[in-house]
Amino acid sequence: MTISHSRLLIVDNDSAQLAQLADNFARYGLIVVGVETPLQMRAALAQHDYALVVLDPAIAPEKGAALLHELAIERHLPVIVHSAACGEADRIAALELGAEDCLCKPANPRELLARIRAALRGRMAPGAPLNAAATARSFASFDGWRVDMTTGQLFDPKGTAVSLSDGEFQLLRVFVEHPRQVLDRSRLLDRVHGATADHYDRSIDVQLCRLRRKLSACGLKGPVIRTIRNEGYMFVHAVTN
């Protein structure tokens, strides 16, 4: 078996939905494996470990609850239910059966991604149970600082955690994945908010300003993210993994 925190399993018999989510999530460094039947799901689980499963119980009429129980309780995997059946009773039942979250289908891909990240962060919280996919972690380091690419946490050289919002982390992640490269606003928007983002959206500027202030306030000296006039922005530090 191979282990990857960035690997997600999506169990859904809507092939168009699978393709859309795989394409969207790939922009954020996630590997998406899509399957359409319980048999395919079990074969995929036998080959790899997964950070999280997105499940539409409708792939197995009358057996959706059993599938959720198998994944969440027997296999100890975090599961987000993504279902057209999302009334109050359905959501409560899914949570009682072990789901981390339940979203109405079709969910906005950005909301689904945010819920996935929240579920993974919850699994990495102190005292939270760890599954096999959560035992290894991926870090990027610069100037004595470390970024946990799995949980979205930043640590200063003394090991103190610096709290980042989801947007701040995604922006920092883009920079540390492309150190000393000039990134224009359009590319940052695509990587942080997805290809459907409005390129006139100024939210990226607000997030950039907040990230710069936070890094400076926490003791990171100098122009960490440099503005390159008429071109974009550049993360000035060398990054190691």
What are the boundaries of each domain within the chain? Answer: 7-133, 139-235
Residue for token pair 């990226």: 204
Question: Where does the chain have alpha helices with state H?
Answer: 15-26, 38-47, 64-69, 88-96, 109-124, 166-177, 185-193, 203-217
Asked if the domains 7-133 and 139-235 are classified in one and the same CATH topology, the answer is no
Rounded to an integer, the average pLDDT of 159-164 is 82
Name residue 102's amino acid. C
Average pLDDT, whole number, for the chain? 81
pLDDT at 136 over 50: no
pLDDT at 77 over 80: yes
- Predicted pLDDT of residue 43: 92
- Give percent above pLDDT 70 in the chain: 86
More confident residue, 111 or 4: 111
pLDDT at 210 over 70: yes
CATH architecture of 139-235: Orthogonal Bundle (1.10)
Rounded to an integer, the average pLDDT of 109-128 is 71
Q: Which residues touch 119 (CB under 8 Å, ≥6 apart)?
A: 52, 78, 80, 100, 101
- Predicted pLDDT of residue 124: 52
Domain at 7-133: CATH code: 3.40.50.2300
**What is this structure's pTM?**
0.54
Q: Check residue 107 and report its DSSP letter.
A: P
